Structure 1
Amino acid sequence: MKVEVESLDSVRKNIEVVLDESKVNELREGIYQDLKKHAKIKGFRPGKVPRSIIQTYYKDYIEDELKRKMVEETMGDALSETKVEPVSEPRVEFLEDEGRFGYKMECEVVPEFETPPYKGIEVEAEKIDVTEEDIAKRLESMQQMHTQLMDREGDQPAQKGDFVIVKYEASHDGKPVKGVKAESYPLDLGSANLTPEFENGIVGMKVGEEKEIAIPFAADYPDKDVAGKTLLFKVELKEIKEKKLPELNDDFAKDLSFENMDQLRAEVKKGLETEKEGQRKNIIAEQIVNSLLEKSDFPVPARMAQKRAEMLVEDARSRMKVGTLSDEEDRSLNTALLKEYEPEAQKRIKMGLILAKIAEQEGLKVEDSEVDERLQRIAEETKRAYDYIREFYEKYNLRGNLKTSMLEEKTMNLLIENAAVKEKQ
């Protein structure tokens, strides 16, 4: 086997692999012998089909299988011999020269680049300061979370701040709208969970009262089935409940497993400090990333960037609430999202390459035992058995990605520890 490598540019290398004729004949013979055992051709018993017949019947298959086996059996050795490490799937093109058997593969590789100075990067961040106002707001939030819902006494109508149960059904031009109905829908009036017109229409209603509320939907509303239409909602108010807030006292603290309010306040303050430390760390990390990217000028492999952008789009679409789309609308949405996420994909790849090089220069590593510890933490956080999490990561080949992510995290922590932080006044 003869292997030659040629640099096309800083992120692409072309490798030509030419196989000896004897090796090609060996591969071709193996394909023929396999076909001879399993070929089913009318008029011949299995294993007794003449070679010439097999070659005629399976000509295209033999050629395709020969190409596949040439690549399968030699690509690893060719990459090892040339010391090329592709960062994306190589593009293979087979040689068509008479008497030459082999292929060329275009490989995307990590470009050569110098890391910019990464220690002592100047950043700005606010001092961690938890105020009494911060503590009061968090306690108020906890108080709201433990609100009790009490049946409304008397005949007072619903008002903002009430929790109500409604029955509704929507129609358009006198016909029911499929899927837009509920027998007992819980609604916190004033929370803006539904359209303002719907909530405002319920304010002032009494239990047992029925009402019709017309609600227009914008042309660009995500649900295409109702976009641009005005639906008529027939609403019945079934229940009104008032919110009863617990008092912020020692009894409230004890309900949350604290001895008293002083202990609860101390724990709240500690939690807020941890949150602000995390926020400060993220702000510092973002400035470090921007600084390193601004001082780094090297190209990103195109197919690698395309693949990353497609992954970002797939993730974004999984979180989007989109109604039924036509094929054309779906393609347009995908094209728009790819264009939107391409810069982010480039940024993430570039930063990943920079962090990897810094980690190498600093001798940073992530041991398998550290990965196991992280998997244990994931199991605890998700309330799953450790063996289930470990097997899941191994089954879907996610362990390597986790290890890379942990190494980037370790490298970023080093950069944060060595940053020149100026506190904002």
Structure 2
Amino acid sequence: MQVKETLNEGLKRGYTITVTAAELDAKVMDKLKEAQPDVEMKGFRKGKVPMPLLKKQFGPKVLGEAMQEAVDGAMNDHFESCGDRPAMQPDVKMTNDDWKEGDDVVVEMTYEKLPNIPDVDLSKIKLEKLVVKADDASIDEALASLAETAQDFKSRKKGSKAKDGDQVVMDFVGKVDGEAFEGGSAEDYPLVLGSNSFIPGFEEQLVGVKAEEKKDVTVNFPDDYQAEHLKGKEAVFACTIKEVKEPVAAEINDDMAKKFGAEDLAALKVQIGERLEAEYSGASRAIMKRGLLDALDGLVDFDLPPSLLDAEAGQIAHQLWHEENPDVQGHDHPEIETTDEHKKLATRRVRLGLLLAELGQKAEVEVTDAEMTQAIMNQARQYPGQERQFFEFVQKNQQMQQQMRAPIFEDKVVDYVFEQASVEDKEVSKDDLQKAVEALVDE
């Protein structure tokens, strides 16, 4: 087997691999010998079929497998001996198209190799970690927001007219063709106007009613109503208004706390404080990660594989185009040209991606099965009722697994670098943190 270099330009490499006819024939014979004990053929006992007959009968079929294995083996030996790591799948093609049995096999292989990445002294990286404490004012603000969501209703002044958002307490009897129908009557029913919980058109007709007023509401049941005998029918509801109530925020006390699963108000405040600090910590980490990536980007410089740059720039351009054209869901659109800005961003992403991958490999960072399972379960929750099918889909799809593994791996490498770097805590206000986050989004 011969391997001859034909291209050595930057990160581009090209080789001609020659598998001699003798080597190929020997590999075919090895495969036939391996299969011989299990072969049965009329006129011969199992395992006793002569080799020349085996070769005549099965040689052509085995030849293709042997050829593929020989080329794959030559490629693997080449990468192992030279240490090259291809940036993308090598381009391999047979050069002698008129090949026939008995000829040498000549294959041309071209690829772009990953660059040699220089070592980085991570201890010299200086980072600032923004620290925000959940103060009483922030906790009280969050409590007030919770109270709004847990709103109560209190009676309006006598004679007040019901507004959208008010709660109307009433008795009603619904009739179709003058006859009351099952499920069409209720007493002391609390209905929030504007909640769209009743038949379309019902709630709008109650806007302006007063307590102790009687009002007939006429509506049409939808054509797709679940009750067959009511589909498309006109109904008249005789309503007696008992109370008109306005929405008010729930009183902040132990009872409200219990609505949110806490033992009392003090316990709810502790939970809110922990949640706020977790949110602050997540935002702070995102800011520190950007600072780390900026620092790494300025520390190293090395050649980048053009194929990776082109692919990344194309993906960036495609993603941004769809963000600017949200109405286009599919890919039936004009070809999207990459700009210098796309290429500049791609250069940064590819460089940092290769660097983080190198740092992770040297630090032996791995994504565990438990971490992958948790990630799959988190994403599966986006498909209620189809969690199992999504889980099975991911298990069978290597590309999907890689897409989910990549961000987990990157976050673990980033955490590793944080540990090696010099990190200084800086206490700031919630507003300062918010401004830093907004600046991050605007970049």
TM superposition shift of 1:391: 3.5
Say whether 1:80 aligns with 2:76: yes
**Rounded Cα–Cα distance in structure 2 between residues aligned with 1:400 and 1:5:** 33
Q: Give the TM-score normalised by the residue count of structure 1.
A: 0.59
Distance 1:302 1:412, change over 3 A: same
Q: CA RMSD in A?
A: 4.9
- The residue matched to 1:253 in structure 2 has which SS? helix
TM superposition shift of 1:414: 1.7
* Alignment partner, residue 296 of structure 2: 292
* Alignment partner, residue 140 of structure 1: 144
* Alignment partner, residue 331 of structure 1: 334
Identity of paired residues, percent? 18
Alignment of 1:412-423 (within 5 A): 412-422=414-424, 423=426
Could you tell me which of 358, 376, 379 is aligned with 2:377? 379
CA deviations 1:8-53 (Å, max 9, x no partner) are 33422212122324678999xxxxxxxxxxxxxxxxxxxxxxxxxx
Question: Which structure has the greater CA radius of gyration?
Answer: 2
**Rounded Cα–Cα distance in structure 2 between residues aligned with 1:271 and 1:277:** 10
Partner amino acid for 1:128? V
Q: Give the TM-score normalised by the residue count of structure 2.
A: 0.57
TM superposition shift of 1:354: 1.1
Could you tell me which of 406, 410, 413 is aligned with 1:411? 413
- The residue matched to 2:333 in structure 1 has which SS? helix
Distance 1:116 1:270, change over 3 A: same
- The residue matched to 1:107 in structure 2 has which SS? strand
**Rounded Cα–Cα distance in structure 1 between residues aligned with 2:78 and 2:66:** 17
- The residue matched to 2:263 in structure 1 has which SS? coil
**Rounded Cα–Cα distance in structure 2 between residues aligned with 1:377 and 1:15:** 41
- The residue matched to 1:330 in structure 2 has which SS? coil
- The residue matched to 1:106 in structure 2 has which SS? strand
- The residue matched to 1:8 in structure 2 has which SS? strand
* Alignment partner, residue 346 of structure 1: 347
TM superposition shift of 1:351: 1.6
The size of the alignment, in residue pairs, is 322
Distance 1:151 1:111, change over 3 A: farther
CA deviations 1:339-372 (Å, max 9, x no partner) are 66444443333222212222333x32326xx223
Distance 1:103 1:338, change over 3 A: farther
Distance 1:323 1:360, change over 3 A: closer
Distance 1:391 1:345, change over 3 A: farther
**Rounded Cα–Cα distance in structure 2 between residues aligned with 1:302 and 1:296:** 18
Partner amino acid for 2:377? A
Alignment of 1:171-250 (within 5 A): 243-250=247-254
**Rounded Cα–Cα distance in structure 2 between residues aligned with 1:277 and 1:18:** 58
TM superposition shift of 1:119: 2.0
TM superposition shift of 1:81: 1.7
* Unmatched 5+ stretches in structure 1: 28-67, 167-182, 186-201, 209-239
Partner amino acid for 2:264? N
CA contact (8 A) 1:366 1:406 kept: no
**Rounded Cα–Cα distance in structure 2 between residues aligned with 1:358 and 1:341:** 26
- The residue matched to 1:111 in structure 2 has which SS? coil
Distance 1:156 1:76, change over 3 A: same
TM superposition shift of 1:290: 0.8
CA contact (8 A) 1:88 1:107 kept: yes
TM superposition shift of 1:289: 1.0
Distance 1:309 1:258, change over 3 A: same
Partner amino acid for 1:254? K
Partner amino acid for 1:133? A
**Rounded Cα–Cα distance in structure 2 between residues aligned with 1:266 and 1:410:** 29
CA contact (8 A) 1:258 1:264 kept: yes
**Rounded Cα–Cα distance in structure 2 between residues aligned with 1:101 and 1:381:** 48
Partner amino acid for 2:334? R
Distance 1:325 1:86, change over 3 A: closer
TM superposition shift of 1:380: 6.1
Partner amino acid for 1:302? P
Say whether 1:254 aligns with 2:254: no
TM superposition shift of 1:267: 0.8
Partner amino acid for 2:409? L
CA contact (8 A) 1:86 1:109 kept: yes
CA deviations 1:137-162 (Å, max 9, x no partner) are 32233233334699999546669xx9
Alignment of 1:11-160 (within 5 A): 11-21=11-21, 72-83=68-79, 84-95=84-95, 101-147=105-151, 155=161
CA contact (8 A) 1:95 1:103 kept: yes
Worse-matched range after superposition: 312-321 or 276-285: 312-321
Partner amino acid for 1:17? I
* Unmatched 5+ stretches in structure 2: 28-63, 166-191, 210-216, 218-243, 429-443
* Alignment partner, residue 9 of structure 2: 9
CA contact (8 A) 1:293 1:351 kept: yes
**Rounded Cα–Cα distance in structure 2 between residues aligned with 1:154 and 1:103:** 89
CA contact (8 A) 2:132 2:427 kept: no
CA contact (8 A) 1:147 1:246 kept: yes
- The residue matched to 1:119 in structure 2 has which SS? helix
